Structure 1
Amino acid sequence: MKTTTLKTPTPQIPPGTPPLSSPPPGLDTEALAPWLAPRIGPFDGPLRAQRLNGGQSNPSWVLSAAQRSWVLRAKPGPAASLAPSAHAIEREVRVLQALQGSGVPVPRVLGLCEDESVIGAAFYVMEHVAGRVLRDAMLPGVAVGERAAYHAQANRVLADLHRVDWRAAGLGDFGRTTGFFARLIRRWAQQYRASVRAPVEAMERLAEWLPAHIPAGADEERHVCLTHGDYRIENLMFHPERPEVAAVLDWELSTLGHPLSDLAYHCLAWHLPAGVLRGFGDQDLAQHGLPGERAYIETYCAQVGRDPGAVLADWPFYLACNLFRLAAILLGIAARVRDGTAANPDAPAIARMAQPVAELGWAIAQGRAPALKT
């Protein structure tokens, strides 16, 4: 098998693109080129590949040839080695295609390959959108006076997503349309218990409290919308020079769900600390040019036609539910650290945040921690 390994970024990769791993894992570009050419047209020169950091669940590469570039996103291995519902790039492709022309900016898919014999795993190729990814929600690389505008654009695009007519977009069977929170809580309770050797008190309390406090009617079909599932600043590609979302990335957790679950997950940045979890809950918002959480929620509600008073009344539940989910994810990372299977070098530090995150969720549920940061 022939592989390519470049030591420096190709010229087509603009500033702000997620950093490249060093050394990048090999990709068989010789096998890939014949599959790719009919889908993108002839390209001059050899096909090159550079592995991107980020998106570790489904690894990604920037492909380039002469002055053209694309992005390849693959499953991490053959289907036989993965759980049946894991790393479902087919779902990513479906939602990206459904959102074309919707007003939600997404890359255009150029082709899906489910034949694992080509490069050893299923993959898809999409257009390469020029822009920059701002991985820290505090936006340290953006002038203080401009930061609110970037967050306002993130807010607008999330509202646009939640207004998409998912039935008209052909996504009527993209997920179940009732019982969203009940299923979400049950799933992450199972994940948490599968990851730990001894019960975590805050998680046990949340697992009992959350099902009993689902807001009235929240699990009914009338509230359903298309959700991203991992909507945060880090998963947005911004225009290289201005506060404009050029593309929403990483759709592997998208489904039909409740819009306020998406919004609350996005708003965890107001409650998580700076540093390892890249929030700004321990920072002075005004000093850093960041909007208050209440104002942010009210702006969202104005765009989607929701009553902000009703949203804020149930906000502790939506936050606690997402902190429970996040803590379960972090406990899963802790299990991989314990077993020696965690690939991310930052995994131990990230895993140590599991218990504080769970305790914050329980404190918000009990009214012992603020549910709004203004």
Structure 2
Amino acid sequence: MSGLLDVDRLARWLDAQGLEARLPVSAAPLAGGRSNAMFTVDRGNQRWVLRRPAAVAMPNADAGMVREFRILAALEGTGVPHPAVVALCEDPAVLGRTFYLMERVDGVALTPPPQPLATDPGRVEISRSMAESLARLHAVDWRDRGLADLGRPEGFHERQTERWTRQLRSYEGRELPGVDGVTAWLRGHLPESFTPTLIHGDYHMLNVLIAPEPPGRVVAILDWETATIGDPLLDLAGFCEIWSTSLGDGWGTPDQLIEWYSAARGAASGPGAVGGLGLADLTYYQVLYNFRLTVLLEGIYQRSLRDPTRPAMEDVGARARWNLDRARQLVHLHE
């Protein structure tokens, strides 16, 4: 087993939590996240997923595990598809870092879609479900759910460019030409106002699981490490951005995603109803999303260069440059 997970220590911790005590434990690495490590864990009739920081992680990675656990726990009963959390461990004596267990969801990756859904009507239904699931997330009453201190909506946009610029500089890595032009444009195009909601921060087709049979509804939204209280249009713009650059014909178009999302927000109770939106209204958010994703991917790439347990993630480094180029392209088209 990986040095990130000691099965014997995990078994003793599971015993202490009363989770199928004294039965054999099996675990295996789970492909997926790049900034965190995940493992399948089986014991008795229980099937879980364990999530913990990677070998080389951000300094605040342990606090991030607690934050994710708290968000997922708060979503119980909201109608937002998510994996239910089981237990949290903050004792470094167990696995060396904070980790949590969540239930393993019976779902499949969206790309490629399972054969029963690999039709144009099936793809459209998946597209609609993703838009409606995002709308349900944004309708959550985050104050009532005990998440009022999760973020600071006041000054949200004023902080974004500065925060991500600082984080990029903290890597002390390579130069990324064009960054200064993008950040200057963002500072000059801040939205005047917004209604804050709980936002995912990285909502796209690789961060959901869908039911394997028609109608292919979203059964779980994954990877909550960038969730906060902020502007929901940042989620929507990012969703449309990745959708439009990653998927081909047969899927819902970005304009359809916005229409389905807006209709669902109008039907849902909760903060900040929206309507009349179009893709042209999201340029600022698209630029910010791509800049932010550039910084996140560059961090993963730079950490991979320092992590002896992983190969250098050159594909991630190339993607960071691509997202920066995309941000620059959007700025140019807007001028």
| 2:260 aligned to which of 299, 304, 315 | 299
Q: In the alignment, is residue 172 of structure 1 matched against residue 173 of structure 2?
A: no
**Letter paired with 1:108:** A
Q: Which structure shows the bigger proportion of residues in helix conformation?
A: 2
Question: Cα RMSD between the aligned structures?
Answer: 2.7
Alignment correspondent of 1:267: 240
Q: Which has the higher contact order (CA 8 A, sep 6+)?
A: 2
Alignment correspondent of 2:325: 359
Please report how far the alpha carbon of residue 310 of structure 1 lies from its aligned counterpart in structure 2 after TM superposition.
Answer: 4.7
What's the TM-score once normalised by structure 1's chain length? Answer: 0.78
Contact 2:135/2:261 (8 A) holds in 1: yes
Please report how far the alpha carbon of residue 353 of structure 1 lies from its aligned counterpart in structure 2 after TM superposition.
Answer: 3.2
Please report how far the alpha carbon of residue 190 of structure 1 lies from its aligned counterpart in structure 2 after TM superposition.
Answer: 2.2
Q: In the alignment, is residue 143 of structure 1 matched against residue 118 of structure 2?
A: yes
189-198 vs 59-68, which deviates more? 189-198
Could you say if the C-alpha distance between residues 332 and 96 of structure 1 is closer, same or farther in structure 2, counting changes exceeding 3 Å? closer
Q: In the alignment, is residue 350 of structure 1 matched against residue 327 of structure 2?
A: no
**Letter paired with 2:222:** L
**Letter paired with 1:236:** V
| 2:177 aligned to which of 197, 200, 213 | 200
Could you say if the C-alpha distance between residues 238 and 358 of structure 1 is closer, same or farther in structure 2, counting changes exceeding 3 Å? same
Matched ranges for 1:12-51 at <5 A: 27-42=5-20, 45-51=23-29
Matched ranges for 1:1-374 at <5 A: 5=1, 27-42=5-20, 45-76=23-54, 83-84=59-60, 88-134=64-110, 136=111, 139=113, 142-145=117-120, 146-195=122-171, 196-198=173-175, 200-201=177-178, 203-218=179-194, 223-242=195-214, 243-272=216-245, 279-280=246-247, 283=248, 285=249, 289-305=250-266, 306-310=273-277, 312-336=279-303, 339=305, 341=307, 345=311, 347-367=313-333
Could you say if the C-alpha distance between residues 323 and 343 of structure 1 is closer, same or farther in structure 2, counting changes exceeding 3 Å? farther
State the Cα deviation string for residues 39-95 of structure 1 (Å, max 9, x = none).
3543574111111011232211111124431111123359xx851366611001111
**How many residues matched?**
325
**Letter paired with 1:121:** R
Q: For 1:114 and 1:333, how far apart are their aligned partners in 2?
A: 24
**Letter paired with 1:200:** P
Could you say if the C-alpha distance between residues 48 and 197 of structure 1 is closer, same or farther in structure 2, counting changes exceeding 3 Å? closer
Q: For 1:75 and 1:333, how far apart are their aligned partners in 2?
A: 12
**Letter paired with 2:36:** N
| SS state at 2:36 partner | coil
| SS state at 1:111 partner | strand
94-103 vs 309-318, which deviates more? 309-318
Unaligned stretches of 5+ residues in structure 2: 267-272
Contact 2:176/2:321 (8 A) holds in 1: no
| SS state at 1:229 partner | coil
Q: For 2:42 and 2:229, how far apart are their aligned partners in 1?
A: 35
Please report how far the alpha carbon of residue 343 of structure 1 lies from its aligned counterpart in structure 2 after TM superposition.
Answer: 6.2
Please report how far the alpha carbon of residue 34 of structure 1 lies from its aligned counterpart in structure 2 after TM superposition.
Answer: 2.6
52-61 vs 311-320, which deviates more? 311-320
**Letter paired with 1:317:** Y
**Letter paired with 1:229:** G
Could you say if the C-alpha distance between residues 323 and 153 of structure 1 is closer, same or farther in structure 2, counting changes exceeding 3 Å? same
Contact 2:24/2:43 (8 A) holds in 1: yes
Percent identity between the aligned chains?
Answer: 35
Contact 2:51/2:99 (8 A) holds in 1: yes
